[in-house]
């Protein structure tokens, strides 16, 4: 899983080293020349102090606890010890034989190591080298860059049938995905006793917190900063301000084991071949299981999911969508059950259903106009630019058409078209919708024109 915050190289500013020393964050003797533990004899101690800085180089407050460091004797792969920072960002003193050592930091989401320093002097990164003198104490200063000072605190609550919080319920082990403005994400797990799991050192921006579904529990509702959210998706999106801590609470109700139903929408052509470019979004499905009725719509990929479905026999129905006709509803391994067909939902399993539709063929509506022997004054309802021969072909019987005339104001005369002599006709296309013409026939006929 990618971290929400992506680190970048921090400029090693001279002023930063001065600020660190001024703040008293590093103490102890300067590193001595490299010597072996055998040459020196005796032992000393090492302590690591953690500090955080923003991308602009300014030292900042934040969660300093839980940073782990591995300290290894130079020339051997055997680890001498691991130190972990407390809430103040300081490790317990670690007693080691005098000699040369390497220090590295265990990678942690949302914070990237910038430098290791002793007495304000850089000793390297991502691996730093220093000497522990016999009887001496070395304080290694570790600086990390963080994206910001904001944080999100996620709490879990279990409620009863009346939505009252159950105080002694086990709230641990629920997973939440936190997605940030960079597109990256991280996952945190809820703690026992309702304690909040915190994601810190965040930059300002838009964040989405989503609870991952868990067997035996149903999402009821949640709140983000006091604003309630509910519905089919256990997810909330909000804007995090600089330095803000956003509390998010998810409430669940313990339920019997449930199943799920997943629908894949495909649009096919007349031959049954899948049309990959077809619009598959916003097809609506209703699942009825006993008295529970749930409706979902497909997304842009043609996917629609029903979660926390009570096991048993259910009915699936697709609502008609304009421009499409239903072809088949196919549960995995079964034949077409048709609309309002039944499926069996099993606890702990997902029932896969493929639904196929075909685009309906639209036909233009027409109206029939009676034509009498002679020249009939009629309005043409064909689009501008339609060939006049198309208009003539819409007369039944076609043999009755003698000519079609219209008066051209610009030319100051009638322009005509004759099916018997189209090569000499000077009226070839419809000049405008609802153009008025004379349709001359030598027998009773019918004009089949588009409905206005």
Domains of the chain: 14-146 (2.60.40.10), 150-254 (2.60.40.10), 259-359 (2.60.40.10), 366-450 (no CATH)
Q: Is the pLDDT of residue 102 over 90?
A: yes
Percentages helix, strand, coil for the chain, rounded to the nearest 5? 5, 50, 45
- 335, 234, 356: which is closest to 283 by C-alpha? 356
Tokens describing residue 341: 């067909």
pLDDT in tens, 269-312: 888 899 988 899 999 999 999 888 999 999 999 999 998 788 89
Residue 39: in which H helix or E strand, if any? helix 37-40
- 408, 394, 274, 401: which is closest to 328 by C-alpha? 274
Tokens describing residue 130: 């220093």
Cα separations (Å) of 233 from 208, 229, 256, 306? 12, 9, 19, 10
d(CA 280, CA 203): 36
Q: What pLDDT score does 12 carry?
A: 37
- 359, 360, 342: which is closest to 351 by C-alpha? 342
Q: Is the pLDDT of residue 25 over 60?
A: no
Q: Is the pLDDT of residue 16 over 60?
A: no
d(CA 261, CA 318): 14
Q: What pLDDT score does 109 carry?
A: 67
d(CA 267, CA 263): 13
Q: What pLDDT score does 9 carry?
A: 35
Q: How many helices (H) and strands (E) does the chain have?
A: 3, 34
- Binned at pLDDT 50, 70 and 90, residue 135 comes out as very high
Phi, psi values for residue 14, rounded to 5°: -60, -40
Collapsed DSSP state (helix, strand, coil) of residue 84? strand
Measured at the CA of 98, the angle between CA 101 and CA 46, to 5 degrees, comes to 65
d(CA 341, CA 197): 44
Question: What is the pLDDT averaged over residues 38-53?
Answer: 83
User: For all residues of the chain together, what is the average pLDDT?
Assistant: 85
The beta-carbon contacts of 370-374 under 8 Å, at least 24 apart in sequence, are 370/444, 370/446, 371/395, 371/400, 371/439, 371/441, 371/444, 371/445, 371/446, 371/447, 372/441, 372/444, 373/441, 373/442, 373/443, 373/444, 374/440, 374/441
d(CA 165, CA 170): 12
Q: What pLDDT score does 78 carry?
A: 64
Percent of the chain with pLDDT over 90: 54
**What's the pTM value of the predicted model, to 2 decimals?**
0.43
E-strand stretches of 272-349: 284-289, 292-297, 303-309, 312-318, 324-331, 341-345
Question: What is the pLDDT averaged over residues 116-135?
Answer: 94
CB neighbours of 450 closer than 8 A, spacing ≥ 6? 364, 365, 366, 367, 381, 382
């Amino acid at each position: 899983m990618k971290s929400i915050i992506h680190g970048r190289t921090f400029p090693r500013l001279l002023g930063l080293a001065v600020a660190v020393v001024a703040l008293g964050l590093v103490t102890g003797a300067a590193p001595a020349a490299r010597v072996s533990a055998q040459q020196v004899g005796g032992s000393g101690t090492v302590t690591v102090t953690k500090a955080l800085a923003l991308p602009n180089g300014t030292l900042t407050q934040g969660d300093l606890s839980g940073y782990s460091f591995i300290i290894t004797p130079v020339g051997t792969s055997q680890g001498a010890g691991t130190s972990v920072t407390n809430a103040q960002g300081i490790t317990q003193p670690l007693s080691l034989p005098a000699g040369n050592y390497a220090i590295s930091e265990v990678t942690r989401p949302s914070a990237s190591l910038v430098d290791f320093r002793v007495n304000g002097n850089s000793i390297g990164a991502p691996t730093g080298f220093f000497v522990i003198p016999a009887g001496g104490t070395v304080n290694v200063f570790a600086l990390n860059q963080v994206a910001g000072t904001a944080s999100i605190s996620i709490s879990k609550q279990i409620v009863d049938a009346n939505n009252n919080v159950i105080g002694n319920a086990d709230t641990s082990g629920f997973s939440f995905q936190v997605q940030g403005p960079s597109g990256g994400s991280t996952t945190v797990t809820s703690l026992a006793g309702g304690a909040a799991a915190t994601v810190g050192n965040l930059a300002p921006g838009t964040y989405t917190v989503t609870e991952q579904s868990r067997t035996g529990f149903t999402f009821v509702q949640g709140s983000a900063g006091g604003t309630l959210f509910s519905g089919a998706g256990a997810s909330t999106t909000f804007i995090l301000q600089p330095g803000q801590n956003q509390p998010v609470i998810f409430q669940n109700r313990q339920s019997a084991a449930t199943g799920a139903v997943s629908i894949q929408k495909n649009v096919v052509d007349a031959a049954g071949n899948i049309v990959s470019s077809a619009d598959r979004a916003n097809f609506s499905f209703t699942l009825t299981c006993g008295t529970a009725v749930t409706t979902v719509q497909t997304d842009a990929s043609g996917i629609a999911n029903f979660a926390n479905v009570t096991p048993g026999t259910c009915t699936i129905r697709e609502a008609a969508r304009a421009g499409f006709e239903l072809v088949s509803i196919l549960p995995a391994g079964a034949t077409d059950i048709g609309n309002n067909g039944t499926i069996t939902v099993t606890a702990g399993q997902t029932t896969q259903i493929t639904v196929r539709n075909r685009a309906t063929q639209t036909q233009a509506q027409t109206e029939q106009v009676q034509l009498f022997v002679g020249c009939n004054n009629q309005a043409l309802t064909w689009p501008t630019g339609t060939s006049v021969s198309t208009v003539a072909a819409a007369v039944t019987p076609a043999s009755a058409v003698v000519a079609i005339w219209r008066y051209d104001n610009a030319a100051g005369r009638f322009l005509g078209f004759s099916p018997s002599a189209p090569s000499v006709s000077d009226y070839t296309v419809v000049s405008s919708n609802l153009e008025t013409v004379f349709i001359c026939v030598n027998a009773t006929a019918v004009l089949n024109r588009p409905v206005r």
